[in-house]
């Protein structure tokens, strides 16, 4: 690397503020909904959605249900769940972060990788109805 290239290189700290780390933030709401994580081999893993937005969800899993749990960051699952009259099927999520909640419980912060467009629009519309009172509108 030349001195000129080094002058243009900006080093950012690893503990960036949330506003800098979060590039896309959707309105999310807290909930408790049953969910199926579906592996590439077709294994169904029961889970619970703790919060949900049009761009992702926080999922709680019990690691005793599958030898694939906890998954590594970057793991992808097909999911299915129901929210009122909305059936979400064949959506794909990617695990971005993992947080141990207890000996066997693990929270998975996930983003949607593939969601059929009508489902994404319906989730955005429902977010105004289900928004958590603790979360300010953005």
pLDDT digits (tens, 9 = 90+) for 23-56: 456 677 888 999 999 999 999 999 999 999 888 9
CA distances from 72 to 39, 42, 63, 109, 112 (A): 13, 18, 13, 12, 16
Domain positions in the chain: 27-130
Q: Which fold has domain 27-130?
A: Thrombin, subunit H (2.40.10)
pTM, to two decimals: 0.73
Which residue matches tokens 């066997």?
A: 104
Average pLDDT rounded to a whole number, residues 75-83? 94
């Amino acid at each position: 690397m030349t001195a000129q290239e080094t002058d243009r290189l900006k080093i950012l700290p690893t503990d960036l503020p949330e506003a800098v780390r979060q590039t896309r933030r959707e309105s999310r709401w807290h909930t408790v909904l049953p969910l199926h994580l579906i592996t590439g081999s077709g294994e169904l893993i029961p889970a619970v959605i703790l919060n949900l937005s049009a761009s992702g969800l926080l999922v709680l899993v019990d690691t005793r249900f599958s030898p694939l749990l906890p998954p590594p960051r970057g793991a992808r699952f097909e999911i299915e769940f129901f929210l009122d009259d909305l059936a979400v099927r064949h959506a794909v999520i990617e695990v971005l972060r993992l947080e141990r909640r207890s000996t066997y419980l693990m929270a998975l912060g996930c983003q949607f990788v593939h969601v059929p467009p009508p489902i994404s629009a319906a989730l955005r519309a429902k977010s105004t109805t289900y928004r958590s009172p603790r979360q300010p509108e953005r």
